[in-house]
Amino acid sequence: MSVDHLTAAGIMANDCLCFRSRRTARAITRAYDAALRPTGLQATQVTLMNAIALGPDGAQPMGRLSDILALEISTLTRNLRALEKAGLITIGRSEVDRRVRVARLTDAGKAQLTEALPLWKQAHGKIVAALGAETAQALHAALDAAAQAMGESEQGDASGGKASEVGGSERGG
């Protein structure tokens, strides 16, 4: 079947889950970013800090962070660099296995994350109100299910879905 570029674009624009998920993610991220602005943090940084804080002893190995956030290690390292430079996290070696790099919140990072919570709650409340509680809950469930399904299909086994492990209403963003 041969189609022209306009037909191809129309088919993709109508059916593309990537486009819709990225557009929605950008809109939601803008709302969180605006609310978090007084902290100097962006929503993506708060998500990184949450994932670190929820690890054993408040730390996460880089590989585990990469799995949780569904990010390549190089992207994760680049994103963590600004937090490290700001003194909000440290990246060091595991005491158990010196080959493993571990991210940990500093005291300043813990304070910054605590300071962000009321602002995060404000943004979260506005987003839920705009969507409606039922739609917000359905979106939450659909995103978790999609992350799990895509994790499983990418890994080829049932151990995927780690992207949703720091999700939740007040746990991960």
pLDDT tens, position by position, 140-155: 999 999 999 988 655 4
Tell whether 142 is covered by a domain.
Answer: yes
Tell whether 30 is covered by a domain.
Answer: yes
What is the rounded average pLDDT for all residues in the chain?
87
Tell whether 7 is covered by a domain.
Answer: no
Tell whether 1 is covered by a domain.
Answer: no
Domain range enclosing 87:
20-164
Helices (H), the chain: 5-15, 17-36, 43-53, 62-69, 73-85, 107-131, 133-155
Could you give the number of structural domains in the chain?
1
Tell whether 11 is covered by a domain.
Answer: no
Tell whether 10 is covered by a domain.
Answer: no
pLDDT at 152: 60
pLDDT by position in tens, the chain (length 173)? 789 999 999 999 999 999 999 999 999 999 999 999 999 999 999 999 999 999 988 899 999 999 999 999 999 999 999 999 999 999 999 888 888 999 999 999 999 999 999 999 999 999 999 999 999 999 999 999 999 998 865 543 323 333 333 433 333 34
Residue reference for tokens 């088919």 = 11
pTM strictly above 0.95: no
Tell whether 135 is covered by a domain.
Answer: yes
pLDDT at 58: 85
pLDDT at 97: 85
| Long-range Cβ pairs for the range 63-72 (8 Å, 24+) | 63/100, 65/103, 67/162, 68/162, 68/163, 68/165, 68/166, 69/163, 69/166, 70/147, 70/151, 70/162, 70/163
pLDDT at 159: 31
Tell whether 126 is covered by a domain.
Answer: yes
- Can you give the CATH number for the domain in which 134 is found? 1.10.10.10
pLDDT at 153: 56
